[in-house]
Amino acid sequence: MTYRFSTPALPLIVLTDLDGTLLDHHSYSFAAAEPALNRLRRAGVPLVIVTSKTRAEVARLADRLESPHPYVLENGALIALPPGYFGEDGGALIRLSPAYEELCAWAARIRREKGYRFRGFADMDAAAVAAATGLSEEDAALAKARDGSEPFIWEDTPEALQAFSADVEARGWRLMQGGRFYHLLGRTDKAYAAEQLLSHYRELPGEPLRSIALGDSPNDLPLLQIADIAVVIRRHDGSWMDAQVNGRKIQTEGIGPVGWNEAVGSILTELESTHV
C-alpha cells in the first residue's frame, strides 16, 4: 500500500519524539493524545516520528497511529520514506550513520582496551533489554533489531564517561544522552536527519509548512532548535528539560501525551483561527 503526500489543509508539519513525549513514560500509551492526533489526521498534517526507536518498532506503532508519513529512526541514524510518498516508485531507507555491526565492534574493542564499564543492547538478550526498558520481551526483540545506533547503560564513573566521549569524538561519531540510555551513532542527530527530510517537503509546490517539534530529553534539543515552534514536554517526574531554542517555545503543564495533546491542540486551534 502506498500513500502519496498531498498539501494539508493547514500549513503544518509535526516532528515528535516518542518515549515520554507522545508515549507515556510508564505505559507507552498515546491514548491521552488521541484528540489532537485525530485533528491532525483530519487536516492531513504530516506526523513525523523522530525517535531513538528502531524501524521494526516504529513500523508497528505507525500502523496503530494511522500515520502513513516518513519517520526518523535511532536518533537520526536513518530516515524511512514510505513507498511513493514523494512520488518515488519504492520506499527508501536513507542511512546517515555507520552500520550497527561497525558501531558495536568499535565499542567492544575500546571497552576491552580501556576497561570502560558499560552494557549495550548487543550485550543483552531480549529478556535483559525488557528488564532495562520495561518493554515486553516481544517488543524488546524489536528494539534490538538495530541498523545504525547502539543504546547502552553506563556503569562507570563520570570521569570515565568523559574519556569515552572523547574517544567517540576522535572516531568522528557522536554520543547522545536519552531518557534511559546513552546512544552511540555516527555524526548525525535528530535535527540533522529531520532537516534532510524537511528539504523534501520544501521542494514541493504550495504554501511552506511551519514546523512544530515536541520532545522531553536532551537528545531532542537539536530538533527543537530547528523548529518554528518548540514544545518542551513536562517529564514524568514533573520537571522540564532546560531548552534554549531559536523560535517560539511552549512548555506544557501536562506530562507526556497529556501535554502533547494540550500543546498540539492549542496550536491547531490558533492556526485554524488565522488560516484562510
Rg (C-alpha) for the chain, rounded Å, is 19
Burial track 198-235 (b if 16+ CB lie within 10 A, e otherwise): bebbeeeeeeebbbbbbbbbebbbbbbebbebbbbbbb
CB 165 within 8 A of CB 175: yes
Only one residue has cell 515486553, namely: 136
Q: Is 17 a catalytic residue?
A: yes
β-bridge mates for residue 129, sequence order = none
Residue type, 43: A
* Catalytic annotation, residues: 17
